Amino acid sequence: MNETLLKIDGIEVTAKEGMTILEAARSAGINIPTLCHHEKLAPYGACRICVVEVDAGGRTSLVAACLYPVQPNLVVRTRSEKVDKTRKILLEQFLAHAPDAPALQDLAREYGADKDRFEKEASFCILCGLCVRYCAEVKKKNAVGFVDRGSSREISFIPEIASKECWNCKECFPLCPTSYLQAAYHLTEALAFPRDPFKSMSGK
Ligand code: SF4
Ligand code: FES
């Protein structure tokens, strides 16, 4: 496979053709934050927290590192005023939905994001799609999916599938950046397919 030379944060990085900026950066030990990326899943581009600044052909632009393919002589900045400002605003929007999520709070500290900047819409889910895509692409079960559109969009377990498939899997739980997923599962289980009446009553 052909190799491509690019520059990330002033460091020359050799990447394989077809790699994304995120993959090239990680191969060189350079950190770019992500919320919707998972190495086993197809790139999705939902959260945009992986935004970086690129210079290509004399033009500077902001792109999603998890989607953008490496190119010869590409110059990438993983931190800049514009990048940090964009990440800060994104985090402030996510925190309006999930103000107590530790993964978001850690990033908020790093980028100076104010969790109270936007009015709270505590949906607790930031629609990263990790749970839905992991269940579909890796487990091939589709036990959790998106329902509704626009501002009403949310994830929902499909009780008929979840009751058979989830109880001994739960591989999606640790992927969720807000821990909403676990709560949604236990609610579905309690309402639609309680496995153990005592367990459902105690909320565990
Ligand atoms: S429940 Fe969690 S993993 Fe699933 S879409 Fe929402 S934030 Fe992402
Ligand atoms: S990690 Fe790139 S858009 Fe979410």
What does the pLDDT look like over 119-168, one tens digit per residue? 998 889 999 999 999 999 999 999 999 999 888 899 999 999 999 999 99
- The pLDDT confidence band at residue 195, using thresholds 50, 70 and 90, is confident
C-alpha 47/C-alpha 81 separation (Å) is 19
Its sign, for the CA torsion 57, 61, 66, 67, is negative
- Our answer on whether the CB atom of 90 is closer than 6 Å to any ligand 2 atom is no
- Ligand approaching nearest to the C-alpha of 65: 2
CA 166, 187, 37: angle at the middle one, nearest 5?
A: 60
Q: Which ligand is nearest to the CA of 66?
A: 2
User: What is the number of the ligand 2 atom nearest to the C-alpha of 36?
Assistant: 4
Ligand nearest the Cα of residue 177 is: 1
Amino acid type, 145: G
Tokens (6 digits) for 172:
């999606």
Tell me which residue has its CA closest to atom 6 in ligand 1.
125
Q: What is the dihedral of CA 26, 27, 29, 34, to 10 degrees?
A: 0
Which ligand 1 atom is the nearest neighbour of the CA of 128?
8
Indicate which residue's Cα is closest to atom 3 of ligand 1: 176
Could you tell me the distance, in angstroms and rounded to a whole number, from the CA of residue 86 to the centre of ligand 1?
A: 21
Q: For residue 200, what pLDDT band results from cuts at 50, 70 and 90?
A: very low
39 burial type by CB count under 10 A (0-12 exposed, 13-18 middle, 19+ buried): exposed
Residue whose C-alpha is closest to residue 155's, from 169, 138, 172: 172
The binding-site residues of ligand 1, defined as CB within 6 angstroms of any ligand atom, are 125-131, 155, 175-178, 180-181
